[in-house]
Amino acid sequence: MSAVVDWFHPFRQSTVAAVGVEDGVPAPERTRVPAGPAELRAVAAGIGTTLDEDTTCAELTRAAAARLGGAAAVLRRGREAGTAYEAVSGDRDLLPEIRRVAAALRPAAGPDEDRWVAPEPGDDRAALCVPLTAGGHCHGVLVCARGAEPYPPPETEFLRFLAECAASHIRHAREHDALSGVIGKLQRALLAEPGRPHPNLDVAIRYLPVGNSTLVGGDWCETVRLHFGRTLLVVGDVMGHGLEAAVDMTAYRSALRYIASADLPPHRVLRQLDDMAAEEPDRRPATCLLAQVDPNRGMVTLAGAGHLPPLVIDPQGRATRLPVPVGPPLGTGFGGYEPATYRLAPGQTLVLFTDGLVERRGEDIDRSLDRLAGLGFGAAAGPEEILDTVVGRLDVRRAEDDVAVLAARLRPRSSPVG
């Protein structure tokens, strides 16, 4: 068990009468320590209900103050803590000055060595300080105080138990935060910016990974410059979520850039990408849609690997689907991808997206696609405005899957490049 630092002055009747006596019964005789294992487990279950350290500290002090009266607070080590009481429950004025508690934060000679702090002259409060120790590291102290007799052994052991429960959860919370920080750095490294398209194409992209703590997932968008003013537009979706999907996404994305640099038609790019992925048994399958835009010819050539078809939006804001021959997802090794070519005039906007944009639980996918096409885009709306409309009206931030969406519009030949 953790060491306990306990300090107090001789008991005064006036103090006990104020906070330590109820109907003339001294505090030690009416202790509210849990009576048995079941009640103890119930108290412990209320501490560490989340991976949030602040919440755990608040749950700890509430349990201590509610059971034993007086006040309870936490003084933490690490971060920017240790200078003020936190998660205070009960009467803050009962708590000793922080400088008196600071000694409890200093390492003891051993993990179970009790440390005593001399009281201030004239101070008659009973106070107890329990280190929050887990994994051989002290994360702070639980400070309990009341204007009464010292805490008897059953209460001391109970507070030790609470402190150990909380310390374990605080340790997990800090480890989780540290891991999240590392993952965040890795995600930012994986979240490479798409390449720059030719200046004859206006492009806008929105990327929204599912989850509040995730920066990158398995979805991606890409633009690859090709010869003769052409641009290859890409959206892809690796199976799964989070960092594992992001790692495979990066592999697909890098391979696609390499293959596309050979200036192959879209269906052949998919074929080679599928062959490469199929050779790696641990690679997750992925869907992908390619659109090779040729402004000089006013054409777009599409090829898909198990992906949803794109939309084309005319200058009046009307949206229609462009059918794409269905091919198997990447990584299956089946191949069989075919192209489809359509006219794409200046002022028309091509919209490529992953299924997280439109799919809703229990809804037919055709209905989902019709809802997207029927959003009602403004006349002459540019790619940025179109994506603002899509994200806002479909409430994409509450989607259950990662979302990547790309909009591209040919510039009129007379349009200045800026």
Q: Which one is predicted more confidently, 410 or 4?
A: 410
Cα–Cα distance measured from residue 317 to residue 385, given in angstroms and rounded to the nearest whole number: 11
pLDDT at 339: 98
pLDDT digits (tens, 9 = 90+) for 208-248: 877 655 566 788 899 999 999 999 999 999 998 777 888 89
DSSP 360: -
pLDDT digits (tens, 9 = 90+) for 356-389: 898 888 888 899 899 898 888 888 889 999 999 9
pLDDT at 147: 77
5-186 is classed in which CATH architecture? 2-Layer Sandwich (3.30)
At residue 142, does pLDDT exceed 80?
Answer: yes
Q: Which one is predicted more confidently, 360 or 157?
A: 157
Cα–Cα distance measured from residue 404 to residue 308, given in angstroms and rounded to the nearest whole number: 12
Cα–Cα distance measured from residue 188 to residue 413, given in angstroms and rounded to the nearest whole number: 37
391 forms beta bridges with: none
pLDDT at 124: 65
Task: Write b or e for each residue in 274-311: b if 16 or more Cβ atoms lie within 10 A of its Cβ, otherwise e.
Answer: bebbbeeeebbbbbbbbbbbbbeeeebbbbbbbbbbbb
Positive or negative, the Cα torsion across 249, 251, 257, 262? negative
Cα–Cα distance measured from residue 363 to residue 117, given in angstroms and rounded to the nearest whole number: 66
Q: Token pair for residue 3? A: 């060491």
pLDDT band at 23 (very low <50, low <70, confident <90, very high): very low
pLDDT band at 3 (very low <50, low <70, confident <90, very high): low
pLDDT at 277: 94
Percent share of the chain, pLDDT over 90: 47
Decide: 224 and 209 in contact? Cβ < 8 Å.
no
Cα–Cα distance measured from residue 153 to residue 130, given in angstroms and rounded to the nearest whole number: 13
Scan for tokens 């269906």, then name that residue: 267
Q: What is the mean pLDDT of the chain?
A: 82
Q: Among candidates 5, 7, 36, which has minimal Cα distance to 115?
A: 5
Of the listed ranges 11-20, 163-172, 276-285, the least confidently predicted one is: 11-20
pLDDT digits (tens, 9 = 90+) for 241-272: 777 888 899 899 999 999 999 999 999 999 99
What's the average model confidence in pLDDT over 311-317?
Answer: 93
Task: Write b or e for each residue in 56-93: b if 16 or more Cβ atoms lie within 10 A of its Cβ, otherwise e.
Answer: bbbbbbbbbbebbbbbbbbbbeeeebbeebbbbbbeee
Q: What SS3 class is residue 22?
A: strand
Scan for tokens 């240790």, then name that residue: 82
Decide: 227 and 295 in contact? Cβ < 8 Å.
no
> Around Cβ 262, how many Cβ atoms within 10 Å?
10
pLDDT digits (tens, 9 = 90+) for 195-210: 777 888 999 999 887 7
Decide: 152 and 28 in contact? Cβ < 8 Å.
yes
Q: What SS3 class is residue 202?
A: strand
Cα Rg of the chain (Å, integer):
32
pLDDT band at 188 (very low <50, low <70, confident <90, very high): low
pLDDT digits (tens, 9 = 90+) for 36-65: 888 889 999 999 999 999 999 999 999 999
Q: Token pair for residue 276? A: 């490469």
pLDDT at 63: 94
CB contact set of 189 (below 8 Å; sequence gap of 6+): none
Burial of 243 (0-12, 13-18, 19+ CB in 10 A): middle
Cα–Cα distance measured from residue 219 to residue 209, given in angstroms and rounded to the nearest whole number: 8
Cα–Cα distance measured from residue 271 to residue 14, given in angstroms and rounded to the nearest whole number: 87
What's the average model confidence in pLDDT over 148-174?
Answer: 90
Q: What SS3 class is residue 276?
A: helix
pLDDT at 418: 45
What's the average model confidence in pLDDT over 297-325?
Answer: 95
Indicate the domain borders of the chain: 5-186, 191-410
What's the average model confidence in pLDDT over 352-356?
Answer: 93
At residue 325, does pLDDT exceed 80?
Answer: yes
Decide: 347 and 382 in contact? Cβ < 8 Å.
no
pLDDT at 179: 82
291 forms beta bridges with: 233, 302
> Around Cβ 5, how many Cβ atoms within 10 Å?
21
What is 191-410's CATH topology?
Phosphatase 2c; domain 1 (3.60.40)
pLDDT at 50: 93
Residue 58: its H or E element: helix 53-68
pLDDT at 30: 43
Q: Which one is predicted more confidently, 81 or 22?
A: 81
pLDDT digits (tens, 9 = 90+) for 99-133: 777 655 565 434 444 444 455 666 667 788 899 99
pLDDT at 302: 98
Please state the separation of Cα 162 from the chain's center in Å: 29
Scan for tokens 């405005």, then name that residue: 385
Alpha helices in 111-196 (DSSP H): 153-190
pLDDT at 27: 44
Q: Among candidates 306, 394, 407, which has minimal Cα distance to 357?
A: 394
Fold identical between 5-186 and 191-410? Answer: no
pLDDT at 22: 36
